[in-house]
Amino acid sequence: MTPASTPGAPATGEPADGGVTDEELAAWEAQGSPDGSSRTRIVIAAMAVIAIMVAAAIGFSVGRLSTLADPTPTTTSAEAGFSRDMQVHHNQGVELAMIIRDRTDAVDVRTLAYDIATTQAQQSGQLYDWLVQWNLPQGSRQPDMTWMTLPTLTGASGHAHGGDTATPGSTHTPGDPMPGLATPAQIDQLTAASGLQAERVFLTLMIAHHQGAVEMAEALQPRTTNATALAFTRAVIASQQAEIELMTRMLDDRGGPVDLAG
């Protein structure tokens, strides 16, 4: 199976418009991270390795989709709902990443934003292709996040965080906002900022955005036996939790989170 076309990373030394060049990265690595330590640089390097491993694992799993014995999901299944809603979630992650790359000269933030934009665009394309392969529509008449209210495979109701029973107080209502999704006012807040303030707004927003994606991935796990979907959720959880740790350190170095617009 051929994945849906997604934006590819530029060739070495030839970044996309506004990208970070090899010379910028080399200069940044020579001088260390913004706080004078090598911690952030080391974590970003580790994240590059993780991204490669995750992409390889997902690519292998997606390639085997048509050969697995799993039944084809229906249009109201958790797998289909997750595929649609996570596309929306990832596409906003790409949007936020591209906004910050135009509003800061900080190489570590621009490098992180480029990684987020390319990774989430690729994964969004894969989710689109799942629905194509399953002969299901990309849209649904059901409210957003309805799949998160479906019982788990063991019969538990509500939203369970990666387990078999619902977590008290965590039941999701169809049509509720997606976890971690930035509001229009918050996007305007990021768009209006620049420099250090833009970096703080972006990191505050993206930490919450990643936490929401992890929540969605954990919610699918007890609702599917599809091997490809399970591999995808594990990859999302591992990579985004690692980036949450990185962004938390970067945000602390810049004075901590900001108050977000409503």
Residue 34 clears pLDDT 60, i.e. is over it: no
pLDDT at 32 over 70: no
- Looking at per-residue pLDDT, the higher value among 76 and 33 belongs to 76
What is the C-alpha separation between 24 and 13, in angstroms, rounded? 10
Instruction: Provide the pLDDT for residue 50.
Output: 57
- For residue 172, what pLDDT is reported? 74
Q: How many residues does the chain have?
A: 262
* pLDDT at 108 > cutoff 70: yes
Look at residue 195 and tell me whether its pLDDT is greater than 50. Answer: yes
Cβ pair 244, 93 in contact under 8 A: no
Give percent above pLDDT 70 in the chain: 68
Which amino acid makes up residue 219? A
For residue 23, the tally of other CB atoms under 10 A from its CB is 9
Q: What is the pLDDT of residue 53?
A: 52
**b (16+ CB within 10 A) / e for 158-192:** bbbeeeeebeeeeebeeeeebbbbbeeebbebbee
Euclidean distance between CA atoms 146 and 85, whole angstroms: 10
- Residue by residue, DSSP assigns 147-211 as GGGS--TTS--S--SSSSSPPTT----TTPPPTTPPPHHHHHHHHH--HHHHHHHHHHHHHHHHH
User: What pLDDT does 153 receive?
Assistant: 93
pLDDT at residue 238, rounded to an integer: 97
- Residue-wise pLDDT tens digits, 208-251: 999 999 999 999 999 999 999 999 999 999 999 999 999 999 99
Rg of the chain taking only CA atoms, in angstroms: 19
pLDDT score recorded for residue 237: 98
What is the structure's pLDDT at 174?
85
* 38 or 22, greater pLDDT: 22
pTM beyond cutoff 0.75: no
